[in-house]
């Protein structure tokens, strides 16, 4: 099975339509099932669109399970509601399993999700604009820290800087050699939370979320700039 996530957590990268098509055709040729996690589908910037892999390669439809939810687009993380779209037999099997594992999604959450999905989308659009503003701020400011290289993500609400230039050096009496140790140091000394690359794969990266208020975001960035000055 291929797990396809675009826009990506943790990098915020968005596959281009050509890349999506090429990956989809590869999965189709190899007879793979695909899970496509489209939870950040509506959070893209710079005019970029996240093309669904089934849209790019329609022949995949009978072996693709699309998952999505209200947590990101509608900032409804706590409502615990998502959905799957896929071949009927797979969906039925998943529903049987879930109803015994976790019972079912509360009616209140279901009503709230219907309101979010079918109501006016102004708030979602305004939130995306706010994310875009915060994205540009955090990329510009983190890139002022020597040793931290922050690419501009085109989706989701994370930045994923390469921090190898900060490792092996002494900050506030501590010499981190991995991004895990660096994340600990940042939490202890700046009280800013980051998820180290080790949580996703290689060491040498940190994931920062910019899904928070402008003032808090700026305060967090300033603390990092002071720590690594």
Ligand X SMILES: Cc1ncc(COP(=O)(O)O)c(C=O)c1O
Contact residues: ligand X, CB under 6 A:
5, 9, 37, 39, 69, 71, 77, 82
Q: Which is nearer to ligand X, 8 or 164 (CB)?
A: 8
Q: Which is nearer to ligand X, 9 or 179 (CB)?
A: 9
| Closest approach of ligand X to the CB of residue 82, in Å | 5
Q: Which is nearer to ligand X, 40 or 228 (CB)?
A: 40
Q: Which is nearer to ligand X, 77 or 175 (CB)?
A: 77
| Closest approach of ligand X to the CB of residue 77, in Å | 5
Q: Six-digit token pair at 174?
A: 């501590």
Residues 187/207, Cβ–Cβ less than 8 Å: no
Give exposure, 168-189, as e/b (b: 16+ Cβ within 10 Å).
Answer: eeebeeeebebbbbbbebbeeb
Q: Using CA atoms, how far apart are residues 52 and 198, in angstroms rounded to an integer?
A: 28
**Could you tell me how far CA 79 lies from the centroid of its own chain?**
18
| Closest approach of ligand X to the CB of residue 220, in Å | 19
Q: Which is nearer to ligand X, 106 or 175 (CB)?
A: 106
Residues 207/10, Cβ–Cβ less than 8 Å: yes
Q: Which is nearer to ligand X, 82 or 87 (CB)?
A: 82
| Closest approach of ligand X to the CB of residue 209, in Å | 9
Q: Using CA atoms, how far apart are residues 16 and 62, in angstroms rounded to an integer?
A: 23
Q: Which is nearer to ligand X, 14 or 145 (CB)?
A: 14
| Closest approach of ligand X to the CB of residue 80, in Å | 7
| Closest approach of ligand X to the CB of residue 52, in Å | 14
| Closest approach of ligand X to the CB of residue 165, in Å | 27
């Amino acid at each position: 099975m291929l797990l396809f996530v675009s826009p990506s957590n943790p990098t915020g990268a968005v596959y281009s339509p050509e890349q999506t098509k090429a990956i989809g055709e590869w999965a189709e040729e190899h007879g793979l099932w695909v899970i496509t996690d489209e939870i950040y589908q509506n959070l893209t910037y710079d005019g970029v669109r996240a093309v669904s892999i089934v849209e790019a390669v329609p022949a995949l439809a009978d072996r693709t399970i699309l998952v999505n939810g209200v947590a990101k687009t509608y900032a409804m993380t706590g409502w615990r509601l998502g959905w799957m779209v896929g071949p009927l037999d797979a969906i039925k099997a998943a529903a049987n399993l879930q109803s015994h594992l976790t019972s079912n999604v509360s009616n209140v959450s279901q009503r709230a999700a219907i309101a979010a999905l079918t109501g006016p989308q102004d708030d979602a659009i305004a939130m995306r604009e706010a994310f875009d503003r915060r994205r540009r701020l955090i990329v510009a400011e983190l890139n002022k820290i020597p040793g931290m290289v922050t690419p501009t993500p085109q989706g989701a609400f994370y930045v994923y800087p390469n921090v190898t230039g900060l490792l092996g050096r002494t900050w506030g009496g501590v010499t981190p050699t991995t991004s895990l140790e660096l994340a600990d140091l940042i939490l202890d000394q700046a009280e800013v939370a980051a998820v180290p690359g080790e949580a996703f794969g290689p060491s040498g990266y940190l994931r920062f979320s910019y899904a928070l208020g402008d003032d808090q975001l700026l305060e967090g960035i300033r603390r990092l700039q002071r720590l690594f000055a």
